Amino acid sequence: MIKRNLFFLAMLMVVPVQVFAWPWSTDMMNQPSIKPQEGPPAVFPQRSVPVSGIPTKVKDRQAAEKLKNPFPATAESLKTGKTLFKIICAACHGLTGKADSPVSPKIGAIDLTSDYVQETLTEGWIWGTITFGSAIMPAYGVPTREVGGSNDLSPEERWHVVNYVKKQLVKDAAASGTASIN
């Protein structure tokens, strides 16, 4: 009887080890799937559009000057532009856009509410400056999205920021005085 109990106990201890060796316990790495850089890249279906949209092909800021904003200044566009402005632009240009952040005087950031920016600069020029940067300002996007950084904005996001700067920033700055924009 004792031998039989010991045999049964030994079998209970060995069975779980054998169960893990069965075919359904293979590592998930070995499942049928396409691994990165395995084989030729998949061909996109005809007439497909990349998630980032249709790239704008301009070579520099001067080439972008005559571009027209393809996104109307709707409430949604202005809201998106305001959010992106607060995240990306406010560190240097200040929440009001008046170059009133602590770093503005040190880096020479310009007042985006000035008549020069609001009346002289075209939407395309501002989009090009966001895209390619300037003497002091870094680039926040590349027109074809071939190479990008962590702070890059898509072409559409850049146009929303342009809408906000040209159509709403001055109003928000006047309404807030020197307080932050909500």
| Domains and their CATH numbers in the chain | 61-176 (1.10.760.10)
Rounded average pLDDT over 171-176: 87
Report DSSP state, residue 54.
Answer: S
Higher pLDDT, 9 or 150: 9
pTM (2 decimals)? 0.65
Question: Coil, strand or helix: which one is 162?
Answer: helix
Distance (Å, whole) CA 159 – CA 156? 5
Distance (Å, whole) CA 138 – CA 152? 10
Q: In this model, does residue 17 exceed pLDDT 60?
A: no
Residue 59 is predicted with a pLDDT of: 82
Least confident piece of the model among 42-46, 50-54, 140-144: 50-54
Residue 51 exposure: Cα atoms within 13 Å on the Cβ side: 0
139-170 pLDDT per residue, tens: 888 654 555 555 678 888 999 999 999 999 99
Q: In this model, does residue 106 exceed pLDDT 90?
A: no
Model confidence band, residue 15 (pLDDT cutoffs 50, 70, 90) = low
Contacts 24+ apart (CB under 8 A), 33-38: none
The Cα-based distances of 68 to 54, 74, 136 in angstroms read: 15, 16, 25
> Which of 10-24, 78-92, 166-180 is the most confident on average?
78-92
